[in-house]
A and B are shown apart, each in its own frame.
Chain A
């Protein structure tokens, strides 16, 4: 087990080419008299194009760290930079724009909008970005074809299997070609074969588009496939291996 924190701890140059950089970031939730320290002084850097898994037991702070990186929650202390942007200092509106342009999310529970079809769910970020209809259709159809979902475009999420829903969620996350995809337990609700196929798909996208993938996971399959594994324990980085 190699602790590489010393290697990646330099966060003084936020405008460098790192996809993600955190500097002594803390997250304390106000719960009880002392609060809960979910993330405790984590400093790390993730370069563009990395395929990283953050693993650890429940309560180790991996989801909170992922949320901090994605700007879904603000650090109590410290800094988080995504593609050179200081997430901690951004307004809610600026954070939303940053997420729209730079970050794709994949969730454990898929979180597709039930009132939209698979295609409409997938094209949602493109639509919000103002991508022209022709290009939107081209990109989404290509990804549907690539993920074996052709023919299911008009189905609502309720009519798709878990694996199909997660594929749609991945298409939604990558269709806008973000610099970073954050995936929180993306395989937790799937059987191993489906998980393997999804991971393979994400690996391919990572290789082809150099999109950075960061996973928070318990799944050994994800850890095996990750080219870098960061282990968290009690809100701190316990190990960081490539």
Chain B
């Protein structure tokens, strides 16, 4: 204990003794730590925004579907009325209900939309207009007309690019043709009540929303849905909620009636993009801290070389080589911890500053940026996560410890008699 205190005292005082060198290294560490926390928070905020946009446009954080539907996308692989009821019951269980924000049923099928001007392949989604408006952001993307309403029967809400191709306007009629639940080709006349534009070509060209009841009748699948899409309060709660849901729905899952998919499983492209972006961020942070580690190595190694004689004296007085190395390590770790904490403080301050109004990077944008069914928001709001701060601190500590290892090793290898001759 006393020896530990002595080591720390010596470490603090030696760092203060070379104040300028220590401060320069600490400054690099503070900036690096700040950058680490801010960039991680910004990255997490961006990813949360991507995921939020992706899941609202797509099948939610969690999708409950028939096991085969994810691959076949055919209406015969739909959820039965009983499965839908079981899923809704499962979502009401106490462990899950607190995380669930929205639940929407969807009956989706691939088909053809035709007008006197031609035909286009489409994905027809039967929706509950009220629930869907609270779930998806598609209703906010109206460019003309309106979104579906509860009383609508033969109404359609279509993408702008589809209306251009089929020369449709508000009030125009079009025929939707698809294979129904009994395998027959069936048509449904609908009237365009609203046109949307997301900027995402695959959505604006293909998606058609019609009332769920209309879709059920047309496709001879009344009461059935292909997907129960679930939105939870945080993307981080997805795995836990999905796990609880799987427990709740163990019986229908075991019977092969339904499957619970997380957004990562339902939208693997988005998951891959998030992971690749994370990897890029980690590499950038790794390079930054690699450079900072070199600065620490330089500071501590210079200190070891400068104090060669002093280390010789300590060993002559009875310090073991290991204790001499530990003293050097203590200097590196003290420098790292102090500057790392300051850096994290700086990072948290910057994160807080941009958290209030977000970081607006719209000046770099010419038009809407989209990918993989996600519309990018030019205002990035950093996301604070305590676990990330702890990870950041541990990472900084790891870098500091690693960077101190070589100078510490050098200190243990001192030839005491030679060191005593060493003149500064």
A-side residues, CB < 8 A to B, are 64, 67, 70, 72-73, 92-93, 96-97, 99-101, 105, 107, 111, 113-116, 120, 124-125, 127-130, 133, 172
Contact = CB atoms under 8 A, between A and B. Distances in A.
A130 to B, nearest CB: 7
B21 to A, nearest CB: 15
B369 to A, nearest CB: 56
Interface stretch (B42-50, B179-187, B315-323, B356-364): B315-323
B16 to A, nearest CB: 8
The binding surface of chain A is classed by DSSP as: helix
A123 to B, nearest CB: 10
B321 A116 contact: no
B416 interface: yes
B408 to A, nearest CB: 15
Given A96-B315, A127-B6, A116 B320 contact: no
B14 interface: yes
Given A96-B315, A107-B313, A116-B9, 14 more contacts: A67-B420, A72-B417, A73-B415, A73-B417, A96-B319, A99-B315, A107-B420, A111-B420, A114-B17, A114-B310, A115-B10, A115-B17, A124-B6, A129-B318
26 contacts: A72-B416, A72-B420, A73-B415, A92-B321, A93-B320, A93-B322, A96-B315, A96-B318, A96-B319, A96-B323, A99-B316, A100-B317, A101-B318, A111-B310, A111-B420, A113-B10, A114-B310, A115-B14, A115-B16, A116-B10, A116-B13, A125-B318, A128-B317, A130-B2, A130-B3, A133-B2
Given A73-B416, A105-B316, A111 B2 contact: no
Nearest to B319: A96
A97 B310 CA distance: 18
Contacts, number: 71
B309 interface: yes
The list of the 5 closest CB pairs from A to B, nearest first, reads A100-B318, A115-B13, A73-B417, A96-B320, A111-B313
Interface in B4-18: 6, 9-10, 13-14, 16-17
Contacts of B420: 67, 72, 107, 111
A103 to B, nearest CB: 8
A151 to B, nearest CB: 22
Contacts of A105: 316-317
A99 B10 contact: no
A124 B3 contact: no
Contacts of B9: 116, 120
B412 to A, nearest CB: 9
B317 A172 contact: yes
B310 to A, nearest CB: 6
Contacts of A101: 318
Interface string B287-324: 00000000000000000000001100111111111110
B316 A72 contact: yes
Contacts of B317: 99-100, 105, 124-125, 128, 172
Interface string B33-48: 0000000000000000
A111 B314 CA distance: 9
Nearest to A108: B420
Contacts of A128: 3, 6, 317-319
Contacts of B321: 92-93, 96
A128 B320 CA distance: 10
Contacts of B322: 93
Contacts of B16: 115
Contacts of B309: 111
B13 A99 contact: no
Nearest to B318: A100
A191 B13 CA distance: 32
Contacts of B316: 70, 72, 99, 105
A97 B318 contact: yes
Nearest to B15: A115
Contacts of B313: 107, 111, 113
A205 to B, nearest CB: 18
Contacts of A100: 317-318
A133 B3 CA distance: 12
Contacts of B17: 114-115
Given A72-B416, A113-B310, A99 B2 contact: no
A120 B417 CA distance: 24
Contacts of B323: 96
A105 B416 CA distance: 13
A124 B315 CA distance: 12
Contact of A67 (B3, B314, B320, B417): B417
Contacts of B416: 72-73
Contact of B318 (A99, A107, A114): A99
A116 B13 CA distance: 8
Most-contacted residue by chain A among B2, B314, B322, B415 (CB, 10 A): B2
A93 B412 CA distance: 11
Contacts of B13: 115-116
